[in-house]
Each structure stands twice: as C-alpha cells, then as structure tokens.
Amino acid sequence: MEKMLALAQVKKTDVVYDLGCGDGRIVVTAAKKYGCKAVGVEIDPECVKLSQELVKKEGVGHLVAIEAKDLFTRDLSQADVVTLYLLPQLNVKLLPQLAKLKPGARIVSHAFPMEGIEPDQVVRMVSKEDGVEHTLYLWTTPLKKSK
C-alpha cells in the first residue's frame, strides 16, 4: 500500500482516488502520510462502514471522503492519482473513465495489469507486512496502447 502511493509519487496537492476502497486503508494512509485529499469509492455497505470508521479513528475526515457507490459511475476528472486492486477484467472495464483523467495523472494497480495498455513501470516487491511478493503496475496518462 505504501509502495503504491510512493510509486505514484503522491504530493500534498494531489487528489487520490481508491476505486473499491475496502476498509479505507489506502485513502487514510495517503491523507496521513502526504496530507493530500483522498476519495474512497466502495459498493459494499460493510466496507463503506469500515472505511468511514477508519477515517474517523485516524482523524482525517477533513481530507478523506468515502462514497458509497459503484466505481463505474464515478467521474474521475478531478483525480491526480487512482489506485486499484480489482480483477483484470474490471481494470479494462474502467478504461473509458481512465481515458478522461487529466494528463499526467498516475494509475497504480496492485496485482493486476490492464490488458492492451502498456505500463510505465512494473515493480515486484516483497511486502514487510505479509512477507509475500506483490506486483504493482504504474501507468501515466495519456495511456499508451501495447504494441
């Protein structure tokens, strides 16, 4: 999670979107570590509740918004960084929304690529948290089709 944000070179002035934010750990970490704004979008009511509780517990409610909605309906035009940990077919389904990101926006996906789109970087790392190897993919807009 920390490496995803570092790979995206998050800055204080960025707005970070985690699409499918789970328990909210990425958006909360982004706000705490970088002081940036962040938006978590989540469809599962239990996860929405967990995320909202984490935001409150960590005192970042002034920076982080949790939205209970389908990520495929979210306008991403204000996003500087998008983080994903979704199945590969969902990454591809997101392409029409990602195409509307501002130039220079960064997208980082944990574990899964985006078929047909060339990543700028692929990083394999062993997490200190679980001791397991994880793969991270970074893309910068405008997206480049694979050759």
Ligand X SMILES: C[S@@+](CC[C@H](N)C(=O)[O-])C[C@H]1O[C@@H](n2cnc3c(N)ncnc32)[C@H](O)[C@@H]1O
Contact residues for ligand X, defined by CB under 6 A: 18, 20-22, 25-26, 41-44, 47, 70-72, 85-86, 110
In the bound state with ligand X, the residue whose beta carbon lies nearer, of 100 and 144, is 100
- Spatial distance between the Cα atoms of 140 and 101, rounded to a whole number of angstroms: 10
Least Å distance, CB 74 to ligand X, is 8
User: Minimal distance in Å, beta carbon 121 to ligand X?
Assistant: 18
Q: How do strand 81-84 and strand 133-140 relate by DSSP bridges?
A: unpaired
| Residue 30 or 86 with smaller CB distance to ligand X | 86
Sign of the CA dihedral running 126, 128, 132, 134: negative
CB of 147 to ligand X, least distance (A): 30
The rounded distance, in Å, linking the Cα atoms of 72 and 121 is 25
Whole-Å CA distances, 75 to 64, 72, 82, 94, 122: 17, 8, 12, 11, 26
Minimum Å gap between C-beta 87 and ligand X is 8
- Smaller CB separation from ligand X, 25 or 141: 25
Nearer residue to ligand X within complex by CB, 125 or 146:
125
